[in-house]
Amino acid sequence: MKKIDEYQGKKVLVMGFGISGINAAHLLEKLGANVTANDKATPKNNDIVDDLEADGIKVITGDNPISLANEGFDVVVKNPGIPYDNPLVAAFVKQGTPIITEAELGWQIFDGHLVSVTGSNGKTTTTTLTQLMIAENAKYQVKYAGNIGISFSKIAEGLGPDDTLVTELSSFQLLGAPTIHPHIAIITNIFSNHLDYHKTRENYINAKLNITRNQTKDDFLVINWDRDEWQKIAQRSQATIVPFSRLNKSHEGSYVEDGMIYWRGQEVMPTKDIRLIGPQNVENALAAIAAAKLSGVTNDAIKKVLTTFSGVRHRLQYVMEYQERLFYNDSKSTDIEATEVALQGFDRPVILLAGGLDRGYTFERLVPYFKKHVKAMIVFGECKDKMKDAGNQAGVPVIESENAITAVPEAWKLSEPGDVILLSPANASWDQFPSFEVRGDKFIEAIEELTGKKEQ
């Protein structure tokens, strides 16, 4: 951990009691700040408040009182999910108070080698693969943190100058990380996500590009080269560009040719040996390979990881096989693009479980994928009628169910040996579940109840 004194004696407000906010509050107290921690909700677990107050931190819960804007805070550390049009946040913006996220705080105290990953889809898998690959050859610590569910600042506290940290960073985190400077940055892809937060696609792209804002020609931006738009986006970086591509050959980076993965013209391994299924996971592997090779990782280490790693929970996760049916949990599929790529990963008939929060869009884009890959659909949630319309357009049998849990026995009734039963909702979970993780966990529990087996 790097020793810094810029928070000594400063008044700092931490907004939000998520994992990152609680760790940030405790860290700021260690750094000599006068800390106030605020959450709009009242925590069900009193231990959170007790621990904060035991550290001398003032705690305010149950509201974001606008009066806090008049208390002379020097810095606000905001939970990334709190929007900038929140009245209290907007008041701080108006008066010019610096607003950062916990990722910025983590960077400020980090003293090692930083690799950072962002993108619309594939962030967590790419982050995990990159960390595993670098760790295979490392003499020092290699950890991961960030939007993967692990506090950046908490992990950074325990790392030294020879250690490596691979961080997953969301657009929300990057908006409040003005000085972050990874030596290797990865952009997996950019679609049109979170426009309810960012308002426009350009705002969303700009937030993603904060990952490379402070990079120089001595740093590397690893970026997906499969769309012209992403190639143009790369031109906005000062870093050395390292492309990865499933579709376009480029000797400057990692790519696929005739079923073989190459790094700068040298064979690495066949794509068929990657344990993870689907074209999206070939792309995730290519991105991780580029970062790993830039970090000095051997081909043998890369092969070991890619031939053994079976996936991140809720991200096209293999759950089990039962009576010749394969169950997959892709609850993290909260947009159309993620479901598109999930369906392309299977060469067996798929019974698709889909639906969720209605964000106002329809699903015509999925019709060709339904026609090619889907045997039957079970739809649920706020947007089930729109999802059903797309299934009908594709000529796929569609039935309705209450949610992703009740859909499991319905899917089983429709299935035959050789089928895949896939939860890939193409929508957020918030109409019925507090998070995609809870939705995926409940889906797995329903499978276990149906089969009498535990996930593999």
For residues 267 and 182, membership in a common domain is answered with yes
Residue with tokens 């580029």: 290
Closest Cα partner for 421 from 337, 348, 327? 327
Q: Provide the CATH number for the domain around residue 292.
A: 3.40.1190.10
Band the pLDDT of 26: cuts 50, 70, 90.
very high
Does residue 25 surpass a pLDDT of 90? yes
How many angstroms separate the CA atoms of 287 and 291, rounded?
A: 7
What angle, rounded to 10 degrees, do the helices at 46-54 and 19-30 form?
10
Which of 72-81, 315-324, 341-350: highest mean pLDDT? 72-81
For residues 182 and 55, membership in a common domain is answered with no
Tens of pLDDT, residue by residue over 352-383, are: 999 999 989 899 999 999 999 999 999 999 99
The SS3 call for residue 435 is: coil
For residues 163 and 71, membership in a common domain is answered with no
Tens of pLDDT, residue by residue over 206-217, are: 999 999 999 999
Indicate the residue among 308, 336, 363 that finishes a domain: 308
Q: Which residues of 163-197 are buried (b: 16+ CB within 10 A; e: fewer)?
A: bbbbbbbbbbbbbbbeebbbbbbbbbbbeebbeeb
Domain-located, residue 3 = no
Structural domain for 437, as ranges: 317-450
How many angstroms separate the CA atoms of 451 and 325, rounded?
A: 11
For residues 114 and 91, membership in a common domain is answered with no
Q: Cα 207–283–116 angle (5° rounding)?
A: 40
Tens of pLDDT, residue by residue over 280-309, are: 899 999 999 999 999 999 999 999 999 999
Q: Provide the CATH number for the domain around residue 15.
A: 3.40.50.720
For residues 321 and 303, membership in a common domain is answered with no
Q: In this structure, what DSSP letter does residue 193 have?
A: -
Count up the domains in the chain and report the number. 3
Q: Which residues pair with 378 in a beta bridge?
A: 353, 399
For residues 274 and 353, membership in a common domain is answered with no
Indicate the residue among 252, 276, 308 that finishes a domain: 308
For residues 234 and 134, membership in a common domain is answered with yes
Indicate the residue among 100, 133, 152 that finishes a domain: 100
